[in-house]
């Protein structure tokens, strides 16, 4: 059945007169999947409710941070508690120390950490630090890996060959992009040849160790271990962008899951308990280059603000419980295996990549190992599925290139509903071979 979204349509029409595209982040516009975005009024546990009071099982979790579901009581109470004392001071606070220690105790590669206000701030600062530390300029990134909207990251190589990039957004100077090389994810031979060509000029390699922005793709063992070996050989830094994977894939991050230690790690989303926050950290020797200890400048008035710190502390303390990840693995496998079973039953083209509570849905029967493997047909098929699920009160990400995120509040009955709807979608919309 098609749900009613009268209020959302009205609000979206009003919003388009007030904000570019009616949104404050492009994917929210539903442009990728078609239709009108739902204006969400509240969240509770596994559910979000829109302004028309439609109830959806939420598989976005605010794009990742809400591992414990919406409106977690412990996080909420921590915010209420700190609000009694103020919101921002622009000074050091005790809560910064507490959250920093929680991070250092759980992420092995981090000996010192610097808090910022977003994942974008974290990644752009990490790259600046890498350049300052190595005294080199070039940075390698990978097509399909999203590291925020800083100028240096808004580029791609088109062909995927080891060439200097072109801007993918007006307003990004070519001079900035000339310091970036974009390669194919999971292709270690490209990385080797690029280092051979620019060996003394490459400051860092930045990568999502498990991708979430071309949906979920796990790195090949030889790729992720190869990056570590190559960076060590050429005295370049390996940056893991764990803004999504940090505390999601495991308590020690993707680096713990993959057993590969980066030089710098960026974090976000989860460590703010749903509030704006980011962080970057690494070994003492590297982090000592950050001002005021060293020459690499980075600052932020609201960095480490007590509200975000308090929410982050409440979140990370709860994630110390191993049972959280045991359950997330269980419920994610329940969803993934169910989708695969149905797709095989009807010979429906579907690839499901899942790691702990991150799930990638590819509506294709072709292996997906890099960005170029995601075909137009795959995207179109996902868009049809998204609309069908939405009409049945299931909220999947409004883009084929985004990961699904599960929370501890999602139970087997919720997954059973998803699987039932998915089977109906397949039988009603797919011509069987």
Catalytically active residues, by annotation:
146, 241, 269
Q: How many CB atoms lie within 10 A of CB 388?
A: 18
Q: CA-CA distances (angstroms) from residue 279 to 116, 199, 232?
A: 5, 29, 23
In angstroms, rounded to a whole number, what is the distance separating the alpha carbons of residues 340 and 227? Answer: 32
The angle that helices 306-318 and 73-83 make with each other, rounded to 10 degrees, is: 150
In angstroms, rounded to a whole number, what is the distance separating the alpha carbons of residues 407 and 414? Answer: 11
Bridge partner list, 395 = 58
Q: Is 386 exposed, middle or buried (0-12, 13-18, 19+ CB in 10 A)?
A: buried
Residue 403 near residue 336, CB atoms below 8 Å: no
Q: How many CB atoms lie within 10 A of CB 124?
A: 23
Residue 357 near residue 248, CB atoms below 8 Å: yes
Cis peptide before 251 (omega within 30 of 0): no
DSSP string, 218-262: PPPHHHHHHHHHHHHHTT-EEEEE-TTTBTTTBTTHHHHHHT---
Q: How many CB atoms lie within 10 A of CB 199?
A: 14
In angstroms, rounded to a whole number, what is the distance separating the alpha carbons of residues 259 and 251? Answer: 13
């Amino acid at each position: 059945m098609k749900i009613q979204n009268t209020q959302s349509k009205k609000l979206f029409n009003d919003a388009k007169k007030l904000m570019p595209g009616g949104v404050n982040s492009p994917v929210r516009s539903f442009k990728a999947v078609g239709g009108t975005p739902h204006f969400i009024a509240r969240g509770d546990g596994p559910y979000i409710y829109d302004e028309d009071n439609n109830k959806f099982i939420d598989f976005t979790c605010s794009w990742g941070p809400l591992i414990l579901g919406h409106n977690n009581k412990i996080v909420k109470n921590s915010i209420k508690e700190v609000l009694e004392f103020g919101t921002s001071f622009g000074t050091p606070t005790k809560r910064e120390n507490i959250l920093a220690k929680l991070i250092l105790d759980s992420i092995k590669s981090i000996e010192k950490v610097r808090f910022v206000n977003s994942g974008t701030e974290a990644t752009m600062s990490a790259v600046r630090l890498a350049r300052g530390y190595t005294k080199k300029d070039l940075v390698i990134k990978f097509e399909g890996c999203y590291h925020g909207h800083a100028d240096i990251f808004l580029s791609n190589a088109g062909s995927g060959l080891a060439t200097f990039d072109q801007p993918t957004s007006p307003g990004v100077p070519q001079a900035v992009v000339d310091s970036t090389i974009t390669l194919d994810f999971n292709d270690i031979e490209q990385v080797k040849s690029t280092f051979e060509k620019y060996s003394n000029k490459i400051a860092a390699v930045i990568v999502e160790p498990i991708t979430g922005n071309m949906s979920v793709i796990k790195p090949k063992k030889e790729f992720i271990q190869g990056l570590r070996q190559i960076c060590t050989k050429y005295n370049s830094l390996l940056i893991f962008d764990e803004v999504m994977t940090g505390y999601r894939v495991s308590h020690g991050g993707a680096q713990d899951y993959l057993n590969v230690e980066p030089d710098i790690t960026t974090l976000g989303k989860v460590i703010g308990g749903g509030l704006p926050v980011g962080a970057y950290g690494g070994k003492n020797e590297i982090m000592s280059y950050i001002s005021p200890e060293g020459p690499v400048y980075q600052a932020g008035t609201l960095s480490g603000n007590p509200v975000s710190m308090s929410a982050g502390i409440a979140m990370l303390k709860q994630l110390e419980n191993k049972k959280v990840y045991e359950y997330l693995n269980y419920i994610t496998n329940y969803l993934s295996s169910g989708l695969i079973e149905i797709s095989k039953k009807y010979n429906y083209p579907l690839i499901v990549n899942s790691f702990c509570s991150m799930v990638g849905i590819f509506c294709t029967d072709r292996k997906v190992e890099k960005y170029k493997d995601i075909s137009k047909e795959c995207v179109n098929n996902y868009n049809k599925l998204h609309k069908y699920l939405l009409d049945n009160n299931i909220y999947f990400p409004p883009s084929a290139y985004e990961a699904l995120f599960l929370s501890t509040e999602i139970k087997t009955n919720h997954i059973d509903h998803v699987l039932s709807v998915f089977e109906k979608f397949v039988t009603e919309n797919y011509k069987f071979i």
